[in-house]
């Protein structure tokens, strides 16, 4: 079978939601009003930490698809003041979030034990205003959430190949700025800056999903101990450390792009490693110069720069059944699935969605019961399911 990214079709039931006149849909979707609708019609569970588990109405997969959103829409009304990455979430909230993550991932692995039958993934992306502030809706795209989903391998095998030139597929491969010009220093920074024991670096042979050929060129780590390691808080500390390392690299690079010979960014997590590994590396600095020079001459290019850290961090299962962690810079509009070479084309088709809905909801209610049993929240009643 030919290797390459796949484009699958996922039907959904059109959402009967009225967007106020004069607002773009993406300006409305993360508003307090819309979050109320989300909880009322699709909410599964909520807790005092403001974490909301919900069914994805516009999902990626109708096999298994759910999200946890850190719903700060009522407690932080300023969209630009909301946490948008794990490192900004209060410790007590992150502790609960990690436990919810562990139970959901454990459930997916239990229900789909064969890596040849199902692609299992969980991850998050930065949703802050890291692209131009003049873009429609940017201030409202400020609600951190995780994705949990499963794709049947047979469906992916039967799907047509996606266009490899799709810009959403290139941010983690050879077209990426980091990978194209700074691959060695990027990898070296992770190796020298991070002190990891549970997470073990792996090469592309181990990390690549054979069917799609993705992810491409990204740093990847195997979770030693598999799904059981997720019950160890030390794993989540290391998971955060990878994000911290990425943020340091990203901020340091674009600080150099913005200001020649700039010092180590304030509040860096690994300042000594930045000084030694990045600010004395010719490839790193000449790439910053290349981008800076183009920004000066090319207004459109400069306006598209995401100056603040934009990322996608992912836990997924490889072909051998190992759990892998990877992280990538983010690009505008792309989905987390595309990191693994899965392009989702959503189409409105209520009848087709209805065929999958009962089985999907049954699984979501089953994993919800496990979260409730672990004292991670209370069930939400909707027109389609009871509170418990």
pLDDT at res. 78 = 81
Greatest extent of the chain over all pairs of C-alpha atoms, in Å: 60
* Ranges in the chain, pLDDT < 50: 174
Distance of alpha carbon 352 from the chain centroid: 27
Residue 323's closest CA among 231, 247, 254, 212? 231
pLDDT in tens, 278-291: 999 999 999 999 99
pLDDT at res. 17 = 73
How far, in Å, CA of 386 to CA of 247, rounded?
41
Q: Are 211 and 156 in contact (CB under 8 A)?
A: yes
pLDDT at res. 276 = 94
pLDDT at res. 26 = 65
Pair type for strands 342-348 and 6-12: parallel
pLDDT in tens, 9-41: 999 998 777 788 887 776 676 677 777 778 888
pLDDT at res. 345 = 92
Residue 143's closest CA among 14, 219, 32? 32
CB atoms within 10 A of CB 116: 11
Q: Are 143 and 149 in contact (CB under 8 A)?
A: no
Bridge-partner residues for 314, per DSSP? 123, 326
How far, in Å, CA of 101 to CA of 107, rounded?
10
How far, in Å, CA of 348 to CA of 22, rounded?
24
Domain boundaries, the chain: 6-379
CB environment 208-233: b (16+ within 10 A), e (fewer): bbebbbbbbbbbbbbbeeebebbeee
272-279 — which CB contacts under 8 Å span 24+ positions? 273/189, 273/192, 273/193, 273/248, 274/193, 274/248, 276/192, 277/185, 277/188, 277/189, 277/192, 277/193, 278/185, 278/189, 278/249, 278/252, 278/253, 279/252
Sign, CA torsion 300/333/21/144:
negative
* Contacts of residue 102, Cβ cutoff 8 Å, sequence gap at least 6: 230, 231
How far, in Å, CA of 73 to CA of 75, rounded?
6
- Would residue 237 be called left, alpha or beta, if left means φ above 0 and alpha means ψ between -120 and 50 degrees? alpha
Please, what is the Cα angle at 55 between 51 and 56, to 5 degrees? 105
How far, in Å, CA of 126 to CA of 143, rounded?
9
- Local structure of residue 89 (DSSP, 8 states): S
pLDDT at res. 174 = 47
């Amino acid at each position: 079978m030919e290797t390459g990214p796949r484009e699958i079709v996922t039907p959904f039931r059109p959402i009967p939601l009225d967007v106020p006149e004069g607002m773009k849909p993406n300006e409305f979707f993360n508003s307090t009003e819309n979050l109320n609708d989300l909880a009322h019609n699709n909410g599964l569970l909520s807790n005092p930490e403001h974490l909301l588990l919900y069914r994805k109405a516009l999902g990626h997969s109708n096999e298994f698809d759910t999200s946890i959103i850190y719903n700060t829409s009522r407690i932080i009304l300023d969209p630009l003041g909301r946490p948008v990455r794990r490192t900004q979430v209060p410790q007590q909230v992150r502790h609960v979030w990690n436990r919810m993550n562990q139970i959901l991932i454990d459930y997916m692995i239990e229900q789909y034990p064969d890596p040849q039958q199902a692609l299992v993934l969980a991850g998050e992306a930065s949703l802050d205003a890291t692209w131009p502030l003049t873009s429609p809706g940017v201030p409202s795209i400020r609600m951190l959430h995780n994705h949990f989903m499963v794709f049947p391998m047979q469906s992916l095998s039967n799907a047509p190949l996606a266009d490899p030139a799709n810009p959403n597929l290139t941010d983690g491969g050879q077209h990426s700025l980091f990978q194209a010009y700074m691959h060695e220093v990027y990898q070296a920074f992770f190796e020298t800056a991070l002190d990891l024991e549970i997470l073990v670096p792996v090469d592309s042979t181990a990390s690549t999903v054979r069917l799609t050929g993705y992810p491409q060129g990204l740093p990847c780590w195997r979770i030693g101990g598999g799904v059981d390691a997720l019950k160890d808080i030390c794993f989540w500390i290391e998971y955060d450390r990878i994000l911290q390392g990425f943020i340091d690299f990203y901020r340091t690079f674009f600080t150099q792009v913005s200001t020649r010979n700039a010092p180590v960014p304030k509040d860096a997590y690994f300042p000594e490693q930045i000084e030694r590994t990045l600010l004395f590396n010719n490839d790193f600095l000449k790439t910053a110069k290349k981008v800076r020079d183009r920004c000066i001459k090319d207004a459109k290019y400069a306006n598209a720069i995401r100056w603040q850290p934009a990322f996608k961090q992912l836990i997924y299962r490889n072909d051998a059944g190992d759990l892998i962690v990877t992280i990538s810079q983010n690009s505008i509009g792309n989905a987390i699935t595309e990191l693994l070479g899965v392009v989702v084309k959503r189409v409105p088709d209520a009848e087709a969605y209805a065929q999958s809905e009962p089985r999907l909801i049954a699984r979501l209610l089953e994993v919800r019961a496990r979260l409730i049993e672990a004292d991670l929240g209370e069930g939400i009643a909707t027109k389609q399911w009871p509170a418990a």
